[in-house]
Amino acid sequence: MERPSSSSSSSPNEEEDDLQNLLDESDSQIEAAEQRPPPTFDVETLRSRLRRSFFKLNLTKRQCIVIFLPLLLVFVYLSTDLTNYFSSVKVPDSVFRPNHGPAESDLRALYLLRKQETDLSSLWNRTLSVSDMKSALFRQMSLNRQIQNALLSPRKAESLGLYGGGSCRRVDQKLLKRKTIQWKPRRDKFLFAICLSGQMSNHLICLEKHMFFAALLKRTLVIPSHRFDYHYSRIIDIDRTNTCLGRKVVVSFEEFWKSRKKHHHVHIDRFICYFSKPEPCYVDKEHIAKLKALGITIGGKVDSPWEEEDIAKPSNKTAEEVERSFRSDDDVIAIGDVFYANVERDWVMQPGGPLAHKCKTLLEPNRLILLTAQRFIQTFLGRNYVALHLRRHGFLKFCNAKNPSCFYPIPQAAHCIACLVEKVDAPVIYLSTDAAESETGLLQSLLIINGKTVPFVKRPPRDSAEKWDALLYRHGLEGDSQVEAMLDKTICAMSSVFIGASGSTFTEDILRLRKDWGTASVCDEYLCQNEQPNFIADHE
C-alpha cells in the first residue's frame, strides 16, 4: 500500500520563512530569560518538602530494613580499617589471571556470590528485629570475607599477608622495644628453684620468674630434681635456654650435684621464702624429707625478708627491692615459691620476657614435643584452625567462687565459640579439655555454622598406622601425662586463634607461648569474654 501524498506541497520559499520564525521565537525566549531574576535556593523549604515526602512514604519496618541495610553494609565497609591488610602491599599482577580459565577458587567465589544473592533476596521478604538484623549483617560480612579468601589462592593470600584467621590478624608485638637485663652469673653462685604450688603450668610460670630472680641476683639457676618436682627435662629444652643466652645460666640438678660433690655434700646455705603468709614457701615436712632424701642439707631456718607478704594479696615489688632483700654471698640459696610473686609485671610479661637473649622465648617445649605438634597439625588440622581450651573438671566450684563466674552453660559456650569461629572462617576446632564426653558431645552438636557442623579434633589414641607421634613413642615419652599436656599446649599455641579458660594457668601458659612465638591473634580471647553465665547455681 502506498503512503498517501500530502494534499499540498511546501515550496522552498515557505520552508525558509518557517525556519526564520523559529529563530525569532528562540531569540525572544532567551531575552525574556535573561531579564528574569535568578532562582534562589531555600534550604528550609527543601527540608520541609523532603520531610513531607518522607512521611508520605509511610514505610514499613521491612521496607526500612531493605533500604537501610545496604547503606549500613557500605558504611561498615568504608569505616573498616583495612590498612593493616593492604598498607605497603603491592598486589602482584598474577593475582587477577586475565588470560586463564576459571580456577577452583574462582568457582568457589562465584558460588559464594550466588549464595550471598540468595541470602539478600531472603532478607528482602522477611521482617527482622534489630538483633536479627545484626546477625544477618554479621553473616554477610563473614560471607564477604570468604569470597575475598576464595578469590585469592592460599599462596597468593599468604604473599599479601591475608591468610590465616580471616579478619583476625596477628598481634604486632614490637619486639625491638623490649626492656631487658643481662644474665651473667657469678662463679659458683647458685639459686635453687623451689616451685610447689599447683600443677605443671604453675611450676613453669614459677620457673620463668626464677630465671628473672637468678639474673637479678647474678646466680646460676638449678632446675629441681624429678624426685622432688616434675621431670622438667622431658618437657622443656634446658640446653636450648643456655644457647639462647650464649652462656651457662641454667643447670640440671644432676649437673649441680656433680659440681658440688667435691664438697662431700650438697648444702643449701640459706632458704628464703618469698611469701610469709599463709605459710612459708608451701614447704612442709614432706617436702623437707624429699630434699633430705636427695642428700641435700639445709642450713639455718626457713625465713622471709617480708613479714606481711600474703599470697592472697601480693604487693608490687621492684627489681631493686628483690636485689636488696635477697642479696647474699652464700654459695647456694633457695627461694620459693615465687609463682604468686608480683615483681615488675609489665617487664616480666612483655614478649620474650625480661632477659636479653637471641631466641623468641627461653622456656620452650623440647624439640621432640615441638616436632610432634607440627606433625599432628599437618596430619589433622592444617594451617587455619581454632584451638579451644575447655576447662571443666573442678571448675564449677572454682569459678562460682569468683565474681563474675567463669563457668558457662554448654549452650551459651557454644554460641560464643560459634561467633568467633564464623569470624575466623576456620574449618576445624582443636579441643583440649578435661570435660566429660556428655558435655563435649552436646557442645559439638550445637556448633553449627551456615548449616554445617564445625568438627572438634582431639588427639586420638596411639595407632601404629599413624606416624605423627612416632618420635614420642621411640624416645619413651608416650603415655607421660605431662608430655601430653605440653603437646596440647604446643598445638594450641600454633593455632590461628585461641579460645582459653579464664582463671586457668594452662591457658595462661599457652598465651605466653603465643605472645613469645608471635602467633597471638587480635581475636584471641577467653571463652565468652565480657559475658556472664546466663545461669549460676547457689553456693553450698
Question: Is the predicted pLDDT of residue 349 greater than 90, yes or no?
Answer: no
Q: Give the model's confidence band at 275: pLDDT under 50 very low, under 70 low, under 90 confident, else very high.
A: confident
pLDDT-wise least confident of 72-81, 172-181, 232-241, 430-439:
72-81
User: In this predicted model, what pLDDT tens digit does every residue of 56-99 receive, in sequence order?
Assistant: 445 454 455 545 555 555 554 444 444 443 333 333 433 333 34
Q: Give the model's confidence band at 539: pLDDT under 50 very low, under 70 low, under 90 confident, else very high.
A: confident
pLDDT reported for residue 346: 87
Residue found by looking up cell 529563530 in the block: 23
More confident residue, 149 or 356: 356
The mean pLDDT value for 327-344 works out to 90
Q: How many helices (H) and strands (E) does the chain have?
A: 20, 16
Q: What is the DSSP letter of 234?
A: G
**Dihedral pair phi/psi, residue 40, rounded to 5°:** -100, 150
Interhelix angle for 104-124 vs 61-79, to 10°?
140
pLDDT reported for residue 24: 55
Question: Is the predicted pLDDT of residue 284 greater than 80, yes or no?
Answer: no
Q: In angstroms, rounded to a whole number, what is the distance separating the alpha carbons of residues 336 and 202?
A: 13
pLDDT reported for residue 154: 42
Q: Give the model's confidence band at 173: pLDDT under 50 very low, under 70 low, under 90 confident, else very high.
A: confident
CA within 13 Å, CB half, 65: 20
Q: What 3-state class would DSSP assign to 138?
A: helix
The mean pLDDT value for 326-346 works out to 90
Question: Is the predicted pLDDT of residue 477 greater than 80, yes or no?
Answer: yes
* Neighbouring C-beta atoms of residue 261, cutoff 10 Å: 11
Q: In angstroms, rounded to a whole number, what is the distance separating the alpha carbons of residues 226 and 95?
A: 55
Q: In angstroms, rounded to a whole number, what is the distance separating the alpha carbons of residues 392 and 275?
A: 30
Interhelix angle for 61-79 vs 130-151, to 10°?
40
Q: In angstroms, rounded to a whole number, what is the distance separating the alpha carbons of residues 168 and 71?
A: 25
pLDDT-wise least confident of 61-65, 291-295, 303-307:
61-65
User: In this predicted model, what pLDDT tens digit does every residue of 515-524 receive, in sequence order?
Assistant: 999 999 999 9
- Nearest to 193, CA basis, from 245, 232, 162: 232
**Dihedral pair phi/psi, residue 526, rounded to 5°:** -80, 155
Question: Is the predicted pLDDT of residue 2 greater than 70, yes or no?
Answer: no
Q: Say how many residues make up the chain.
A: 540
Question: Rg of the Cα trace of the chain?
Answer: 35
Strand partners, 273: 336
Question: Is the predicted pLDDT of residue 169 greater than 80, yes or no?
Answer: yes
Cβ atoms of 463 and 367 closer than 8 Å? no
The mean pLDDT value for 277-306 works out to 78
Strand partners, 336: 194, 273
More confident residue, 307 or 509: 509
Could you tell me how far CA 146 lies from the centroid of its own chain?
Answer: 20
Question: Is the predicted pLDDT of residue 206 greater than 50, yes or no?
Answer: yes
pLDDT reported for residue 29: 52
Task: Specify the amino acid at residue 277.
Answer: K
pLDDT-wise least confident of 16-20, 453-457, 530-534:
16-20
**Domain limits of the chain?**
190-349, 367-526
Question: Is the predicted pLDDT of residue 34 greater than 50, yes or no?
Answer: no
DSSP string covering 156-207, please? HHHHTT--SSTT-PBP---GGG---B---PPTT-EEEEE--SSSHHHHHHHH
pLDDT reported for residue 105: 60
pLDDT reported for residue 289: 81
More confident residue, 373 or 402: 373
Task: Specify the amino acid at residue 30.
Answer: I
Q: What is the 3-state secondary structure (H, E, C) of 347-416?
A: HHCCCCCCECCCCCCCCCECHHHHHHHHHHHHHHHCCCCEEEEECCCCHHHHHHCCCCCCCCCHHHHHHH
Cβ atoms of 216 and 187 closer than 8 Å? no
The mean pLDDT value for 28-56 works out to 48
What are the distances in angstroms from CA 28 to CA 16, 18, 22, 34, 163? 19, 16, 10, 10, 70
pLDDT reported for residue 320: 94
Determine whether 226 is exposed, middle or buried from the number of CB atoms within 10 Å of its CB (0-12, 13-18, 19+).
middle
Question: Is the predicted pLDDT of residue 143 greater than 80, yes or no?
Answer: no
Q: Give the model's confidence band at 38: pLDDT under 50 very low, under 70 low, under 90 confident, else very high.
A: very low
pLDDT reported for residue 254: 87
Question: Is the predicted pLDDT of residue 337 greater than 90, yes or no?
Answer: no
The mean pLDDT value for 40-62 works out to 48
More confident residue, 422 or 76: 422
Question: Is the predicted pLDDT of residue 35 greater than 70, yes or no?
Answer: no
* Average per-residue pLDDT for the chain: 79
E runs forming strands in 405-522: 429-433, 448-449, 452-453, 456-457, 497-500
Question: Is the predicted pLDDT of residue 28 greater than 70, yes or no?
Answer: no
Q: In angstroms, rounded to a whole number, what is the distance separating the alpha carbons of residues 376 and 368?
A: 12
What are the distances in angstroms from CA 442 to CA 330, 335, 412, 446? 58, 46, 12, 6
* Neighbouring C-beta atoms of residue 247, cutoff 10 Å: 12
* Neighbouring C-beta atoms of residue 354, cutoff 10 Å: 23
* Neighbouring C-beta atoms of residue 107, cutoff 10 Å: 11
Question: Is the predicted pLDDT of residue 422 greater than 60, yes or no?
Answer: yes
Cβ atoms of 257 and 228 closer than 8 Å? no
Q: Which CATH class name applies to 367-526?
A: alpha beta
Strand partners, 498: 387
Question: Is the predicted pLDDT of residue 165 greater than 60, yes or no?
Answer: no
Question: Is the predicted pLDDT of residue 127 greater than 90, yes or no?
Answer: no
Q: What is the DSSP letter of 380?
A: I
Q: In angstroms, rounded to a whole number, what is the distance separating the alpha carbons of residues 353 and 361?
A: 7
Q: In angstroms, rounded to a whole number, what is the distance separating the alpha carbons of residues 314 and 341?
A: 6
Q: What 3-state class would DSSP assign to 447?
A: coil
Torsion, Cα of 12, 17, 20, 26 (10° steps): -120
Q: What is the 3-state secondary structure (H, E, C) of 337-357?
A: CCCCCEECHHHHCCCCCCECC
C-alpha cell at 169: 590478624
- Nearest to 163, CA basis, from 152, 174, 171, 172: 152
pLDDT reported for residue 366: 92
The mean pLDDT value for 146-171 works out to 56
- Nearest to 96, CA basis, from 143, 144, 163, 151: 151
More confident residue, 24 or 187: 187
